[in-house]
Chain A
């Protein structure tokens, strides 16, 4: 080796030039690195995500020409006034009642399961329970929906089992009930409710599970040590600390139910929910502005719900 080669700094010999200077640049200018990492998700979130929501909001203040069916970009509150027609109020109320019922049922089913998984299940048992909760999410939503159609149909599995044990009369009596009943389970609002609960249960179990797993065992011991009976410990310590999880899960189940238009179309009587109205308004009827105005309803309902939850101190434990 010649004298000149030896005088070159060591590291420039072993690394390729421009990659080295790029990594040095990113190392020295941390903000540049941060910007490189954050710009893509921020663009996605800001332009596509919020942008589409804003364009929806803007559309709800337009109208369509009744003769040509063309969109007229003129400010009007007519769509929101139309929301208050009895038929539309009916749809909104029905949707909110269904969503609330589904949320309460999901929470009631999910809490004991999540509690057991977080506090008692260990090893293999815990893995099996995790898989059992997640398993439905691995297959298509439509496949599961039609599977339920088969289960709930008049000639379906549930009916067949009840006939075999001579309990068909019980189902028939239940189906004659007003509001929840119908021709068969698959044509009753109760059937819709059952399938909604089935579909969204994992979205309630997982947030509650996370919240419960974050409670250190020493908190429960401390509560007992300070004289709490197990039920006092549950209501004063575990329940309030699980609340953020229940709130998060309920936002999932509530909004998923509120926005769904496929489940009530396949299972249930022909009464409509918000999702179906939005779907037909923007599709068949071609009334995008009114569909947009109706889409605002779930957003407002969830917003009010979260505001109430915050005021009640649900998120205090966060």
Chain B
């Protein structure tokens, strides 16, 4: 399978009033053709800057960006074979929906009947067939999002860039759009590069995820690998909930200097015989499980998820023992920071 997007040692430095910000710092990355690739990270981690450099809205300070083997790092956006779905949708307010979708074809000189036919069929693809005559202000957020998608896809891009496209939608609509986007991507076979700060979104949609922290790429892996075998404490904490331990006591209990255990990998046991014990400090209900925080003398607070309808729940203040299967303990290297 060929490589759609390749970043080689890309950095982006912003200068403003005696301040130098390394927004992206030495990122190298290969995204395969047809892949759903997500750039995940907290705000300010460099994921959006990275996407903007692929799109051509921000130029890298150093490094090279290749799209299908062609060097594009210094080219303007209109000379790159990619299209973008913007966070605020960026629909043209003075044009009808149909003209918005047909815009890319119009500027390429496609004649009116052809481009309107293509735009109309693209609106059908995103399930807005009747909306062509309306203006962007007359549409809801979710509808605008689909129009933005149609406007990008009508140009048949080789790579589609999506900059937090679902961020402004409410939870139900967001979940619906997630599955729609995923099935659309499978159907069209286009490479998707998706930016989000929502780890659930990243895990549920992506073939692979790149986790950003402070301008650096911490780890690139599939969702299951990120969850089960994070390479740094940052990734472990950012993806899901993790108990990360370190120091002398950690080595004594687990046999490693730094170790990670997910809350659902720990079970309650008899306080007298368990390798770790402490008092229950808090219990919260999450619908599909209970989450208990146990204060241990050796390792501080430990988060434990308990199945609903399992053994009787401990009460606040009760002394409980904690146990786990040794094979699930994951060792960590120190984080970059």
Q: Which of A54-62, A223-231, A284-292 sits within the interface?
A: A223-231
CB nearest neighbor in B for A236: B107
Total chain B interface residues with beta-carbon distance under 8 A: 25
CB distance from A97 to the nearest CB of B (A): 31
Give Cα A236 to B108, complex, Å. 13
- Evaluate contact between B78 and A225: CB separation under 8 angstroms: yes
- Evaluate contact between A216 and B90: CB separation under 8 angstroms: yes
Instruction: Say whether A12 faces chain B, with CB atoms less than 8 Å apart.
Output: no
Interfacial chain A residues near B86, Cβ < 8 Å:
218, 221-222
Query: B-facing mask of A230-258, CB < 8 A → 1, else 0?
Result: 00100011001100000000000000000
CB nearest neighbor in B for A215: B93
- Evaluate contact between A227 and B108: CB separation under 8 angstroms: yes
- Evaluate contact between B94 and A228: CB separation under 8 angstroms: no
Instruction: Say whether B88 faces chain A, with CB atoms less than 8 Å apart.
Output: yes
Instruction: Pick the contact of A226: B56, B83, B94 (CB < 8 A).
Output: B83
CB nearest neighbor in B for A123: B17
Give Cα A316 to B136, complex, Å. 12
Pick from A221, A227, A232, A236 the residue with the most CB of B within 10 Å. Answer: A227
- Evaluate contact between B77 and A225: CB separation under 8 angstroms: yes
CB distance from A262 to the nearest CB of B (A): 39
Instruction: Pick the contact of B92: A221, A227, A237 (CB < 8 A).
Output: A237
Mark out the residues of chain A between 111 and 157 whose CB falls within 8 Å of any chain B CB in the assembled complex.
none
- Evaluate contact between B107 and A221: CB separation under 8 angstroms: no
Interfacial chain B residues near A236, Cβ < 8 Å:
103, 106-107
Instruction: Say whether A317 faces chain B, with CB atoms less than 8 Å apart.
Output: yes
Instruction: Say whether B104 faces chain A, with CB atoms less than 8 Å apart.
Output: yes
- Evaluate contact between A316 and B94: CB separation under 8 angstroms: yes
CB distance from B90 to the nearest CB of A (A): 4
Contacts known (A224-B78, A227-B104, A228-B78); A216 close to B88, Cβ less than 8 A: yes
- Evaluate contact between A225 and B107: CB separation under 8 angstroms: no
CB nearest neighbor in A for B93: A317
Q: Which 10 A-B pairs have the closest CB atoms?
A: A226-B104, A222-B90, A317-B94, A218-B90, A224-B77, A228-B107, A225-B84, A240-B94, A225-B77, A227-B78
| A–B pairs, 12, beta carbons within 8 Å | A218-B86, A221-B55, A221-B77, A221-B84, A221-B90, A222-B84, A222-B86, A223-B107, A225-B83, A225-B152, A228-B78, A317-B94
Chain B residues with CB under 8 Å of chain A are: 55-57, 76-78, 82-84, 86-88, 90-94, 103-104, 106-108, 151-152, 155
Chain A residues with CB under 8 Å of chain B are: 216, 218-219, 221-229, 232, 236-237, 240-241, 316-317
Interface contacts beyond A216-B88, A221-B84: sample of 15 additional A-B pairs, CB < 8 Å, sorted by A: A218-B87, A221-B86, A222-B91, A224-B57, A225-B83, A225-B152, A226-B103, A226-B107, A227-B104, A227-B108, A228-B107, A232-B107, A236-B106, A236-B107, A240-B94
